[in-house]
Homo-oligomer: A and B are copies of this chain.
């Protein structure tokens, strides 16, 4: 029961912060959305920052679990799995009206440089995402399916950058064009 309430508060707060950002979201707004009293919030989280730390951990689990599910299916060729993964995430953002971006990238942009604790946590998530893509590119290289000019680790970090930046541009246009261009440039140009 305790874990359920904590998860419920996290889930409600997550949705608001995902759209509006951390500084623009007040604890009261999270309480109202979760329909819990203030004391309940402070029973589970010492402070708003403590809530943010829990939120990043919540996103870390979800994102890496989703990546593992999509990227570890060895029935498909590695680059196909990578493309399918990004295409699935693209669809999720269509459902959200292209307004929310990556919850980890948003927080990295907002807090990465000013909050060392959360910044380090976000760096770890971005590194873990990059490692998963590196592994897929290494598998492609072993199968002779990666252009020789590409180093798996540098290419993976570049793909993560381009993806995060596509979200920045997506928010300004509130439309799919930057994600579409990412897909075309990565899968029809860079990895070919």
Contacts and interface: CB of A to CB of B under 8 A. Distances in A.
Interface of A: 19-21, 23-24, 98-101, 105-106, 108-110, 112-114, 119, 122-123, 126, 149-150, 154-155, 157-158, 160-169, 171-174, 178, 181-182, 184-185, 189-190, 192
B189 A161 contact: no
Q: Is the interface of A mostly helix, strand, loop or mixed?
A: helix
Contact of A119 (B158, B174, B182): B174
Q: Chain B CB within 10 Å — which of A105, A109, A189 has the most?
A: A109
A134 to B, nearest CB: 12
A67 B108 CA distance: 26
A126 B172 contact: yes
A119 B165 contact: no
Contact of A169 (B150, B161, B184): B161
A60 B5 CA distance: 46
Tally of this chain's copies: 2
A157 B181 contact: yes
A64 B137 CA distance: 37
Contacts of A24: 23, 110, 114
A109 B110 contact: yes
